[in-house]
Amino acid sequence: MIDELRQVNRLLVKLEENLPIVASLTPQAAATLKDQTPGDGAAERYQVTAVHYLGDEGGIVCQLDQGEGGKNTIVASITHLTFDRKQPFAREIAAYQKNRSARLLRRAAT
């Protein structure tokens, strides 16, 4: 099992209670998005408008809205996002990201 379900559930509740939340794509995710949508490019900041858990394989994903009437909505793994460290739940997000990434690396190594 990759995710600790109690940690996931607690984090999902906190995220849902505080929507919308401002987030940014990691540099790698922004580069991938730019490659997939030439000309558009990635925004610096997005509004997280929804969060979902896609099970152990997908983890927590966030629906990101760039504005403009919802025309530029994307879905990204929470592990590919950065959040303001001043958010009251920033530590929980960072802990989830760190734990999930480490477990995925261990799983890939086996």
Q: What is the mean pLDDT of residues 22-48?
A: 83
String of b and e for 72-108 (b: at least 16 CB within 10 Å)?
A: ebbebbbbbbbbeeebebeeebeebbeebeebeeeee
Domain boundaries along the sequence of the chain: 5-105
Tell me the C-alpha distance between 28 and 56, whole Å.
Answer: 22
Q: What is the pLDDT of residue 53?
A: 98
Tell me the C-alpha distance between 70 and 80, whole Å.
Answer: 21
Q: Is the pLDDT of residue 27 over 70?
A: yes
| pTM to 2 decimal places | 0.87
Report yes or no: 43 and 66 within 8 Å, Cβ to Cβ: yes
Q: What is the pLDDT of residue 38?
A: 64
> CB 53: neighbour CB atoms within 10 A?
16
Q: 23-27, 43-47, 95-99, 100-104 — which is least confidently predicted?
A: 43-47
Q: What is the pLDDT of residue 39?
A: 64
What are 77-109's pLDDT values in tens digits? 999 999 999 988 999 999 999 999 999 999 888
Tell me the C-alpha distance between 89 and 101, whole Å.
Answer: 19
Phi, psi of 63 (to 5 degrees): -85, 125
Q: What is the pLDDT of residue 46?
A: 92
Secondary structure class of 81 (helix, strand, coil):
strand
